[in-house]
Structure 1
Amino acid sequence: MTNANDRATPRAVRLARPLARDVVEEIAKQYGVCIRPVALRRMDVLTGKVEIIDVPCGATLESKCPPCAKRNRQLRMAQCREGWHLDHEPINTPDEANDEQRWLVEFRADIQARRDEAEQLGQDTGDLDAVIVSLDEEINEAGMRGNVLGRVVPKRSRSTKRRQDAPDLPKRKMADTTLGRTFAASDGRVYRPSLFVTLTLPSYGRIRAGVPVDPATYDYARAARDALHFSKLVDRFVQNLRRVAGYDVQYFATVEPQKRLAPHLHMAIRGTLPRAEIKQIAAATYHQVWWPSVDTVKYEGDHLPVWEEGAGYLDPDTGEVLPTWGEALDELDADEDAEPLHVIRFGDQVDVKGVLAGTSDADQCIRYLSKYLTKSLGQSLDGEAQREHAARFVDALRYEPCSPACPNWLRYGVQPKGAKAGMAPGRCRSKAHKPEHLGYAGRRVLVSRKWSNKTLAEHKQDRRTWVLEALGQADQPVDPHRYVWRPVPAGDANVPPLAVRLLRSIHERQRWRNHMNQLQAQGDGQDLSATEGRAA
């Protein structure tokens, strides 16, 4: 309802006033409160009490939720710091299986036996196969890694002979350790140096201020394929690094876009190797993409393959079934003169820096590693020229197959893996084809299994425990079966408006901050008293 003062205020002045909800969001950001909380209904099975609990959305991008993105960045920084100069071997002993896990595996064995018996009798196994798939998902959700049967479909193997245009790599005998070498100084101090490595992709044409000097000659097609397969090249580099180093090298790496929009890698490596060897490894690392050829466009525009239930995609003119993904690979395997679709390598620019634990260099590198984690790959565009460059790059990606299941294979006469109705070239939903990802569909943060001896969830729990202890609310062990959590349907009348929920969270965060400030003031006072006492 509009009051008299509002009616008397000029319209332009009223429109210039900030919206109250926007102000609440800004205050929430200042206090580190999630601005997109997820409402969950929690029921206490002991008391029967039901509450609506706001859970942070957990977004990693600043564009979605700045407070959650900031917390995630801080967690990653802590994870990087704790593992980089580790001086003891991490312990990775699997937990003992619990009763639920044992029961699931036993039940899985029973269903598998029934399925095998039905297959021998020639009976339909569809229902049992569906139960097996569901059980495998439950086994993973119950805290077990991997598949019960391991690799069911045999992996295609190709010659491991190195390419003639790639230099050979030295190979050392592997030592059962994840720690690098130590060096003793003349004064008896022991140093454990590590490395900070930056790897980039090759040039696709002359660049000035992040954009091509001549877009017409810039190799956008190669740049697009390199971005799509960059994650595989990084995997190869790690394999080669471990072979040359002679120990189980551990790493923390992040993938970021250069100004020219090509992805590049920053990697913190535990232990040290000669800089010349790192550059040699980068020069010798490559990845071959053994996929069907895309040199010839067979279907485009309105002339596209037709879907037929039970058969797959057919040629619109002849009605012939297009070769499946497996058949296309079989044909590629049978061709002795076949060449890989693409070969990706690193560029000549390789930066290697030695870093010592506890130094300002180490802190600076950690900040640099996490600098762009809260931004999407396409969020750093600066100016109209770079936006046009990004548009040309995305256009080059449009019909490039990003995976065996990509609908773009129909354009080249091959049925995608797991083909289904409704597929069309140029309409792939993979994040590799989304403008904000610039062709890179892999993980932005790459952490080896034995890096800090903790998962990200355990780092998060460490942070929570520290905060609760500082607030005098030590985290008490809770029975995991005491609470039942359920999602709250949209529009539930029991859920207060978002602004109200944010105000409650802001108040709680204010209370915590005041308590922390009091504790800090008390600590400073104690330090001052001790200093005065020592002075007296």
Structure 2
Amino acid sequence: MTAQVIPLTRGPLAADVIRSTAEQHGVCVRPFTMETTDPNTGAINYVGVPCGSTVESICLPCARKARSLRMTQCREGWHLAEEPVTAASEPTDEHRTLVERRADLVAEYRISAGADADDLREEIRSLDRELHQLGVRGRLPNPDGADKRAPVRSTKRRQDAPNLPRRRVEKRTVGREYAGGFRPSMFVTLTCDTYGPVRSDGSPVNPDRYDYRRAARDAVHFASLVDRWWQNLRRVVGWDVQYFATVEPQKRAAPHLHAAFRGTVSHEVLRQVTAATYLQVWWPAHNQPIYSGGHLPVWSPDAAGFIDPQSRQPLTAWADALDQVEVPAHVATFGPQVHSKGILGGTEEAGRHVGYLTKYLTKSTGEVVQADTHTQRDHHDRLHAELAVTPCSPRCAVWLLYGIQPQGITSKTTPGHCKGRAHRRTTLGLPGRRVLVSRKWSGKTLADHKADRSAFVTQTLAAVGIVKPIRDASALVWRKLAPGDRNAPPRDHLVMRAIAERVTWRAEYERALLAAQGPLGAPDVSATGQVAA
């Protein structure tokens, strides 16, 4: 007689319960800890700041909030009837302070050498990132001084590309209004060209004849090709077309674009613009690596650059390599398939397409394109192997494999190893920006849309007498705690505190909505359509 095995059931772990509760209430599950100090009283407090991840598998609440914000941005800009206001803001004291600090570092960098110069360059780059995060647009001066300009290339269209009519672009972004007050807009999908026949799962029918080199280079330069398409479309239609677009991978792992844009353009014009759009990449040739394996260039402090390990001669500088370029290293084009349709604002179809545009924003590329079969895994491996030797920018360390010194190299640069997204196995060359939004789309930044939500909730609470105290965060001194800092409270404590605050806020907000209900029992929602914090 066989004994019956009774499974041992154990209760859930406390950490899992906390995470599940946080996700239920929309609280970040992996906040990082900031220490705040009040300069007037000396009081020290520890605050959990949301991680801001856009991937559900990392932090579900933060990813859903980010997607919701993008949906609001897409919806508000798609069917505007009036021109958005896009006035540039004035520089702040913080902007000026950072630029002054940068100027001091650049002056110090130009008289330094060796490891000190490397550290100063990294500090300058950190300041540049901080300035861009504060809304500063455009390029900042190169710390190495005036770079040698790239040679002037001919702007004459290629012989194999169809000609396009060109009109003067009017200073308007709003589409035409038709009889009856209708103001439709467009939804369009663009894809990359074919690299060889593929099966239903996206894997090549004949991997040995599949053009992996062109697939890798098209993926690396896809965002620039998309920019060229919008430029051509504006010149053809004669007005400043504005767009909200997302880049996603197809089953074959090639990027394709879904875009909503304001106004209407005939399907035939969209096909003509797509067929005539191309991107010439005027980079040095990079077809066959010169260095590989254990035979790699080495850093020379005397030459302040990389040299050949045997001849000890410096590698070709980037500017000198550009001077020798006579033909483009690559020409990127779109595939012939163009899908487009007109959409009316305020309709169920418009809402469905907003959801479709943002459908995969909370998933990583690896989660969207999964390798479930042996042939799919082999396909991804071969594409990744090609991307590993495909330079992604003039600063890419992969250039050293081709005997060329990229821009911005230091002694810390590792030949052939670039941290760019294009070289990761999980991204397969997709551009770092999954969302591409034109500057005049809604006249607002994501921070502006977030502030609109906060203002709506504040007004809703104030209408029933609930006034929240305004905390001036700028009056505090903020410091991010390093991992393992003994002063930092456990993360679970921060999460539990945030859950308690969120439960209180939600109860107050629901009370305010009940108090604001109309005679039919429906909440009095503002024109923004936002009813949740």
How far apart, in 2, do the equivalents of 1:294 and 1:13 lie? 60
1:390 alignment partner in structure 2: 380
Counterpart Cα distance in 2 of 1:307 and 1:47:
51
Cα–Cα, structure 1 residues 514 and 102, in superposed 2: closer, same or farther, change >3 Å? closer
CA distance in structure 2 between the aligned counterparts of 1:308 and 1:529, rounded to whole angstroms: 72
- TM-score of the pair, normalised by structure 1: 0.84
Relative to structure 1, the CA distance from residue 44 to residue 373 in structure 2 (aligned partners, 3 Å threshold; closer, same or farther) is same
Which of 173, 190, 195 is 1:199 aligned to? Answer: 190
1:113-159 deviations in whole A, cap 9, x for unaligned? x97xx9xxxx969999x799699858767765445769954454210
1:195–1:352 CA contact under 8 A, matched in 2: yes
The amino acid across from 2:420 in the alignment is S
Compute the RMSD of aligned alpha carbons.
Answer: 3.4
SS of 2:152's equivalent in the other structure is coil
1:483 equivalent in structure 2: 476
Q: Is the 8 A contact 2:175 2:183 kept in 1?
A: yes
The residue type equivalent to 1:460 in the other structure is K
Of 195, 215, 221, the residue aligned with 1:229 is: 221
Q: Could you tell me which residue of structure 1 aligns to residue 181 of structure 2?
A: 190
Q: Please tell me the residue identity of whatever aligns with 2:410.
A: K
Amino acid corresponding to residue 418 of structure 1 in structure 2: G
Q: Secondary structure at the match of 1:60?
A: coil
Give the drift of 1:96: 4.0
Three-state SS of the structure 2 residue aligned to 1:268 is strand
* Number of equivalences: 503
Change in Cα spacing, 1:492 to 1:529, as seen in structure 2 (3 Å) is: closer
Listed as ranges, the matches of 1:76-225 within 5 Å are 76-97=70-91, 137=128, 144-146=136-138, 152-153=146-147, 154=149, 156-184=151-179, 189-209=180-200, 210-225=202-217
Report deviation, 1:177.
1.0
Query: Which runs of no fewer than 5 residues in structure 1 stay unpaired?
Result: 1-9, 333-337, 531-536
Give me the whole-angstrom Cα distance separating, in 1, the residues matched to 2:316 and 2:492: 55
2:429 paired residue number = 439
Identify the range of structure 1 (340-349 vs 488-497) with the bigger mean alpha-carbon deviation: 488-497
Q: Report deviation, 1:373.
A: 0.6
**2:337 is the counterpart of 1:354:** no
Separation of aligned partners in 2, 1:446 and 1:501: 34
CA gap 1:158/1:309 in 2 versus in 1, 3 angstroms:
same
Which of 247, 258, 266 aligns to 1:266? It is 258
Letter in 2 for 1:166: A
CA distance in 1 between partners of 2:194 and 2:455 (Å): 48
In the alignment, what sits opposite 1:376?
Answer: 364
Partners of 2:192 and 2:400 in 1: CA distance: 29
1:327 matched to which residue of 2? 320
Q: Is the 8 A contact 1:471 1:512 kept in 2?
A: no
Q: Is the contact between residue 198 and residue 352 of structure 1 (CA under 8 Å) also seen in structure 2?
A: yes
Q: Is the 8 A contact 1:108 1:135 kept in 2?
A: no
In 2, distance between residues paired with 1:180 and 1:270?
Answer: 6
Tell me which of 295, 298, 302 is aligned to 1:303: 295
Name the CA distance, whole Å, in 2 between partners of 1:262 and 1:54: 39
Aligned to 1:470: 460
Bigger proportion of residues as helix: 1
Q: Secondary structure at the match of 2:256?
A: strand
Letter in 1 for 2:21: I
Q: Deviations over 1:182-222 (max 9, x none)?
A: 111xxxx2111111110000111112222222222222121
Deviation at 1:45, TM superposition (A): 3.6
Deviation at 1:451, TM superposition (A): 0.8
Q: Which amino acid aligns with 1:452?
A: S
Q: Out of 62, 66, 69, which is 2:63 matched to?
A: 69
Match of residue 392 from structure 2:
402
Task: Give, in whole Å, the separation in 2 of the partners of 1:289 and 1:281.
Answer: 19
Change (3 A) 1:475 1:349: farther
Match of 2:527 in 1: none
Q: Is the counterpart of residue 57 in structure 1 residue 51 in structure 2?
A: yes
Partner residue, 1:24: 18
1:371 Cα offset (Å): 0.4
Aligned-residue offset at 1:48: 4.0
1:239 to 227, 231, 248: 231
Give the whole-Å Cα distance in 1 for the aligned partners of 2:395 and 2:136.
27
Greater radius of gyration (CA): 1
Q: After superposition, what is the alpha-carbon deviation per residue over 1:445-484, rounded to whole angstroms, capped at 9, x for unaligned?
A: 1111111111100111111222333344556665564222
Please name the residue that 2:36 is paired with: 42
1: CA distance, partners of 2:471 / 2:320:
54
Counterpart of 1:5 in structure 2 is: none
Change (3 A) 1:183 1:298: same
* Range with bigger deviation, 449-458 or 390-399: 390-399
> In the TM superposition, what is the alpha-carbon distance from 1:490 to its structure 2 partner?
3.1
Contact 1:465 1:475 in 2 (8 A): no
Contact 2:284/2:321 (CA < 8 Å) preserved in 1?
yes
Supply the AA of the counterpart residue of 1:21. A
Aligned AA (1:55):
V
Tell me, yes or no, if the aligned pair for 1:197 and 1:267 is still in contact at 8 Å. Answer: yes
Q: For each residue in 1:156-180, what CA deviation from the matched residue of structure 2 results, as whole angstroms up to 9, or x when unmatched?
A: 4210010011111111122111111
SS of 2:57's equivalent in the other structure is: coil
Deviation, 1:353, is 0.9
Cα distance in structure 2, aligned partners of 1:291 and 1:263: 22
Q: Is the 8 A contact 1:465 1:474 kept in 2?
A: no
- The answer for the alignment partner of 1:335 in structure 2 is none
Which residue of structure 2 aligns with residue 3 of structure 1? none
Q: Which amino acid aligns with 1:269?
A: F
Change (3 A) 1:296 1:520: closer
Relative to structure 1, the CA distance from residue 459 to residue 408 in structure 2 (aligned partners, 3 Å threshold; closer, same or farther) is same
Amino acid at match of 1:313: F
1:404 aligns to what SS in structure 2? coil
Instruction: Give ranges in structure 2 of 5+ residues lacking alignment.
Output: 524-533
Q: Deviations over 1:332-384 (max 9, x none)?
A: 2xxxxx32111100001111110111011111111011001111222221512
Does the 8 Å contact 1:399/1:425 carry over to 2? no
TM-score of the pair, normalised by structure 2: 0.85
Q: Find the aligned partners of 1:406 and 1:109 in 2 and give their Cα distance.
A: 24
Question: What is the aligned partner in structure 2 of residue 533 from structure 1?
Answer: none
Which shows bigger deviation, 219-228 or 150-159?
150-159
Q: Is 2:275 aligned against 1:286?
A: no
More deviation, 142-151/456-465:
142-151
Identical positions, percent = 47
1:339 corresponds to which of 289, 313, 327: 327
1:412 aligned residue: 402
CA change 1:104–1:229 in 2 (3 A) is closer
SS in 1 for 2:207: coil
Distance 2:216 2:131 in 1: 38
* Structure 1 residue 108, shift from structure 2 partner: 9.0
Instruction: Give, as a single letter, the amino acid of the residue that structure 2 aligns with 1:408.
Output: V
Aligned to 1:515: 508
